[in-house]
Amino acid sequence: MMPSFLKAIKSQVGRKYITGITGMGLMIFIIEHLYGNLLLFADSQAFNMYTYDLEQMGWLLYVAEAGLALFFIYHIYLGISIYLNRRKARPKGYSKYKSQGKPSHQTISAKTMIFTGIVLLIFLVIHLNTFKFGNTKMIPVPGHPGQQMQDMKSLVINTFQSPLYTFSYALVMILLGFHLGHGFWSAFTSLSMKHKKFSKFIYTVGVIFAVVMAVGFLFIPVYIYATGGHGALISY
């Protein structure tokens, strides 16, 4: 049983299937992450309390982070592996590969998946170094005398005062939109959910999802930068 399972997941079809599973898992994380980020525009301490509550999960948070890292790394690995196998299968004229039309959805989004994926990987490393491991001041926890938490809200606002970081972040979010645009549809088709009757609908939903996620993430740094961190939507 085990050898057959290992053989299956190592096959091209098996790898696409697992890519779909990891891709859907990462999309769920992206939705949750955007929700957390938008708390910057809620109550004055909503974002800090959100990050504080996550830290209070203790070892469960480390397990979740390890699982997420595994999903991300394996997703990247499978994506590169599938790309290289396809390139090897048709080395001639690969760079001149043309769209196969609507059924295959070979759009710019589809043909740049490997590029946008690598850019997102590099961005993730920088993002973690800036926010998860960045220097923050400690402030009192509301309603918990004697306890302190990291002032992550100030770190985010101060970071997005930098034009280089802000517009680099914005550019990457646009690339995230491109990646999700095809990734959503690809994840469903990889999990054998493709049907001619629903393919166009799934692709349309994927494009809408990608635009909403990209705009949502894009709005935060641009708004903070444009208002100097003191816009009407930000409570203090």
pLDDT for residue 105: 54
**Where residue 225 falls among pLDDT bands split at 50, 70, 90?**
very high
Separation CA 197–CA 28 (nearest Å): 25
Q: Tell me: domain 11-88+108-227, CATH 1.20.1300.10, correct?
A: yes
**pLDDT tens column, 126-182:** 999 999 888 899 999 998 888 999 999 999 999 999 999 999 999 999 999 999 998
Continuous segment of H or E residues that includes residue 225? helix 196-227
Burial level of 222, CB count in 10 A (0-12/13-18/19+)? middle
**Where residue 200 falls among pLDDT bands split at 50, 70, 90?**
confident
Task: Map residue 149 onto helix, strand or coil.
Answer: strand
- Strand blocks (E) in 127-192: 138-141, 144-150
Category of 105 on φ-ψ map: left (φ > 0), alpha (ψ -120 to 50) or beta: left
% of the chain surpassing 70 pLDDT: 85
pLDDT for residue 101: 45
Q: What share of the chain is helix, strand, coil (3-state, %, to 5)?
A: 75, 5, 20
More confident residue, 178 or 199: 178
Residue 68 structure tokens: 């997420």
pLDDT for residue 2: 46
Determine the length of the chain: 236
**Where residue 197 falls among pLDDT bands split at 50, 70, 90?**
low
pTM of the model: 0.85
Amino acid at 145: P
What are the extents of the domains in the chain? 11-88+108-227
Separation CA 108–CA 25 (nearest Å): 23
Amino acid at 181: G
pLDDT for residue 124: 92
- Strand blocks (E) in 54-166: 138-141, 144-150
Taking Cα atoms as reference points, which of 205, 177, 160, 207 lies closest to residue 113? 177
More confident residue, 140 or 192: 140
Mean pLDDT of 67-75: 89
**pLDDT tens column, 84-128:** 877 777 655 444 444 444 445 567 888 888 899 999 999 999 999
Separation CA 201–CA 195 (nearest Å): 10
Separation CA 135–CA 20 (nearest Å): 36
